[in-house]
Amino acid sequence: MAVTLEQAQRVGYTCLKALLRFAFMVANNLVAIPSYVLYLIMLQPLRILDSKSFWYIEGVLFKWLLAMVASWGWWAGYTVVEWGDDVKAVSEDEAMVLVNHQATGDVCTLMMCLQDKGTVVRQMMWLMDHIFKYTNFGIVSLIHGDFFIRQGRTHRDQQLVLLKDHLEKYYRSRNRKWIVLFPEGGFLRKRRETSQAFAKKNNLPFLKHVTLPRLGATQVILKTLVAPQENGTPSGGDAVRKESKSKGLQWVIDTTIAYPKAEPIDIQTWILGYRQPTVTHVHYRIFPVKDVPAEPEALTNWLYQRFIEKEDLLTHFYETGAFPPPQGQTKAISREMTLSNLWLVAIQSLAFLSGGMWYCLFQYLYHCLF
């Protein structure tokens, strides 16, 4: 089929836009990430003198970095509409966020939609696949204190011990509030067939839009971060108890991400922006942690039930274009989340100004020394 001039121009414009966006993203990373690292190196004396203030500043810088990532999608027209419970109401409490996982764009979507949730982004901890440690953002996550988990049966027991140690050492000493994990343990397209075979073998529901979750990390987080009921003292070791007056983990936020036509956005699309503007839909349901069972078998059933509900939510969304109303209500209310373009421009400008400042400083030091 012959290509018309209009089609050729459209393709050319899309390629040019993608190239310019990629160049901007590379430049953004080259100034923002080194600046984050250098600022924190300079602030190491403060870390010794006043650890709380140090981690507060680190959290602000971390939030700004995530806002830069969010801006790449926001300016491409990849926006978010939210449904279900309003998580702003628990933004100052400790919460575990359970998210379904379809593509690399899920993380970018969360980076965007959590930006307007108070202090959440700067005080959150991520659990992610260990491969992300070797990406451009890996050094940032390492400094922030995120946990990189290695998948696979042979590593499972060791990784859960390391996760427990990591939470006890870093979670409350760095004043973390929310912890985000993907209990499916991988992307939907990679795990669906295995999950369906397991479900058939064990007489469990057949799921198409999610996979059956894994228990390990969820159980470790609950055991480590939930405050014992008998005395209200936060769990997690003597050092943590002294540094925190935390009430412990209080909420589980079941988060379901849905893409129109079940076509997820990946990180390449988020960066290059070659896909048409898309609205991603995010549904929240908040559970008090006291309603979550601690015993392994009961917790497994509870976690399975959450993902069976996700299956129903996504089935309804793909059929109607909206999530169903909450139980007892006749209409579901959506909320369009927004970001300030002025704020995003200010943060990007600060990143490039910081990059220029560090470059001039090192040039000066080089000439002084040599």
Section 91-103 average pLDDT: 95
Top pLDDT among 228 and 319 is at 319
* CA dihedral of residues 73, 76, 81, 82 (deg, nearest 10): 10
CA–CA separation, 256 vs 324, rounded Å? 13
Per-residue pLDDT, 152: 75
pLDDT at 304 > cutoff 60: yes
Could you tell me what percent of the chain has a pLDDT over 70? 94
Question: Is 235 a domain residue?
Answer: no
Count the domains in the chain. 1
The answer to whether 162 and 217 have CB atoms below 8 angstroms apart is no
The answer to whether 38 and 359 have CB atoms below 8 angstroms apart is no
CA–CA separation, 116 vs 118, rounded Å? 6
pLDDT at 231 > cutoff 50: no
Instruction: Write phi, then psi, for 178 (nearest 5 degrees).
Output: -115, 145
User: 281: helix, coil or strand?
Assistant: strand
Per-residue pLDDT, 237: 42
Question: Is 233 a domain residue?
Answer: no
pLDDT digits (tens, 9 = 90+) for 173-220: 999 999 999 999 889 989 999 999 999 999 999 999 999 999 999 999
Enclosing domain of residue 291: 5-227+247-369
CA–CA separation, 180 vs 107, rounded Å? 10
pLDDT at 353 > cutoff 70: yes
pLDDT at 232 > cutoff 50: no
Please, what is the average pLDDT of the chain? Answer: 90
Six-digit token pair at 149? 């988990």
Per-residue pLDDT, 245: 54
Does an H or E element contain 217, and which?
A: helix 216-225
Question: Is 232 a domain residue?
Answer: no
The answer to whether 209 and 172 have CB atoms below 8 angstroms apart is no
Per-residue pLDDT, 60: 96
- Partnered with residue 251 across adjacent β-strands are 95, 288
Six-digit token pair at 147? 């946990």
Section 138-167 average pLDDT: 90
CA–CA separation, 37 vs 140, rounded Å? 7
Model confidence band, residue 241 (pLDDT cutoffs 50, 70, 90): very low
Per-residue pLDDT, 135: 85
CA–CA separation, 120 vs 123, rounded Å? 5
- Cα–chain center distance at 358: 29
The answer to whether 144 and 173 have CB atoms below 8 angstroms apart is no
Top pLDDT among 229 and 347 is at 347
Per-residue pLDDT, 109: 95
Question: Is 237 a domain residue?
Answer: no
Model confidence band, residue 235 (pLDDT cutoffs 50, 70, 90): very low
DSSP 145: T
Strands 278-288 and 251-258: antiparallel
Q: Which amino acid is at 345?
A: V
Model confidence band, residue 242 (pLDDT cutoffs 50, 70, 90): very low
pLDDT digits (tens, 9 = 90+) for 36-81: 999 999 999 999 999 999 999 999 999 999 999 999 999 999 999 9
Six-digit token pair at 295? 């015993």
Other C-beta atoms closer than 10 Å to the C-beta of 325 total 14
**182 vs 78, 206, 280, 303, CA distance in Å?**
22, 20, 18, 12
